[in-house]
Amino acid sequence: MDEFGLIQRHFQDLTSARAGVVLGIGDDAALLQVPAGYELVVSTDTLVAGRHFPHQTAPEAVGWKALAVNLSDLAAMAAEPRWFTLALSLPEADEAWLSGFAGGLRALAEPHRVALVGGDTTRGSLAITITVLGLVPAGQAIRRSGARVGDLVCVTGTLGDAALALRRLDAAAQGDADLMLRERLDRPTPRLAAGLALRGLASAALDLSDGLAGDLRHLCAASGLGAELDPEALPQSPAFAELSRELSGDQRFELQAQGGDDYELCVCLPPARLAEAQARLAALNLPLTVVGLMQAEAGLRLRYADGQSSPITATGYRHF
């Protein structure tokens, strides 16, 4: 099968008739129409086999995750996804793998009504690059640079599930809790609805891809501030709590703050807006937990219940 037949068979139906697609797959480039009064939000991520997902990951999960990590970036900026492009490097044109991969893409793209509008395929090591494009009303995107001294540092959902799943990939016993953690690793949920709900409330935000400690440093740098975290406040899922019981507190903190692959949102909120923000997310059945405080002093610190503090030296996951 040649490149064009591969695209036609597995990806053509991902180009929906969504408003704004003037010309999708099939020409040299796509034509997209941005409505008046909106700004275009663009994000790109590459996933490489063996680094961003285990080699044995099901192709459906690879397709889902490749799109999810990009949608998570749009969620952090309170943008609504519209279109995406796909660049796919494959060692061979494996029909069964491609069918599963396209099915995973479709399973996430369809409910969010995001249309595939172009891309490329080539022979090489397995790697997937997706660029997602979305819209946000002009001037209403949530940026990393808007945090203020006294803002509460909050996170959606729970932290550490994917990192613990990776740690337990080769565990002899794999029960229901392990399956839940593996689902969080393979099929993260982009918090798009939460991002939209927090528009107008959050002063700053970013998605948690490389771990809370590392990603929060980026937000602090953009805002010219520092932050302190309460290590006891980091939210745990029941599965994480069950399977991390034998770990030390430092080990649990490492998984939750440095492990990465959470794809939750970290948001900064003025204290007066916390109740409304939590109520909006409660309507989505999603918890919003206060885990720290933005401060004028640069750097990240842990603040303990007895009032003592210590610097956080961890930087989160690093690619180089």
Alpha carbon distance 316, 177 (integer Å): 25
Binding-site residues for substrate, please?
52, 261, 317
Which amino acid is located at 281 in the chain? Answer: L
Parallel, antiparallel, or unpaired: how do β-strands 226-229 and 299-303 relate? parallel
Alpha carbon distance 131, 41 (integer Å): 10
Which amino acid is located at 49 in the chain? Answer: A
Which amino acid is located at 201 in the chain? Answer: L
**Residue 74's closest CA among 215, 184, 193, 185?**
193
| String of DSSP letters for 152-214 | EEEEES-SSHHHHHHHTTT-S---HHHHHHHHHHHS----HHHHHHHTTT-SEEEE-SS-HHH
Binding-site residues, please?
28, 43-45, 52, 73, 119-120, 144, 207, 209-210, 261, 317
Binding-site residues for ATP, please?
119-120, 144, 209
> CB within 8 A of 100, min separation 6: which ones?
58, 59, 60, 63
- Residues facing residue 81 across a β-bridge: 134
Tokens 């989160």 -> residue: 316
Alpha carbon distance 193, 183 (integer Å): 20
Binding-site residues for Mg(2+), please?
28, 43-45, 73, 120, 207, 210
Give residue 175's Cα distance to chain centre.
Answer: 26
Alpha carbon distance 249, 51 (integer Å): 27
Tokens 């090489």 -> residue: 124
**Residue 210's closest CA among 252, 250, 257?**
257
